[in-house]
Amino acid sequence: MDTAGGFEAIAIEGGWRIAEDDTWYYDVKRMLFNYRVVRTSKAEPWWHTPGYCYVGTEPIVMLLAMAAAKVWCDTQADEPLYWNKNVETGEYREDE
């Protein structure tokens, strides 16, 4: 699947693989009420980091989550951009 951002999203169970580096896969998972961006360990692919939620199920939210996952991989930042909820801490941000 080619995205509006020009990168390829590979279908995986429950979502899409957006990018990878030496240690992680950067995935977007479709949840009931949102999309979730997670890093999945290459060494232990059954385990992933706590996710970051993007509220909504509209296509634009999916594309935002995909773009955020790609930028997260490219920049090696501590977290992806523009998330609404940190699943690990429970921190919630309003839409920016």
**DSSP string covering 1-28:** -B-TTS-B-EEETTEEEEEE-SSEEEEE
Read off the pLDDT of each residue in 69-85 and give the average, rounded to a whole number. Answer: 94
Domain span holding position 82: 10-86
Residue 91 lies in a domain: no
Grade residue 96 by pLDDT with cuts at 50, 70 and 90.
low
Asked whether residue 95 is domain-assigned, the answer is no
- Residue range 43-50: average pLDDT? 85
Q: Using the predicted structure, report yes or no on whether residue 94 has a pLDDT greater than 90.
A: no
Residue 74 lies in a domain: yes
Q: What is the pLDDT of residue 4?
A: 52
At residue 63 the predicted structure's pLDDT band, cuts being 50, 70 and 90, is: very high
- Count of domains forming the chain: 1
Tokens of 86: 């940190």
Give CA–CA dist 52/55, Å, rounded. 10
The reported pTM is 0.88
- Cα 39 from Cα 23, distance rounded (Å): 9
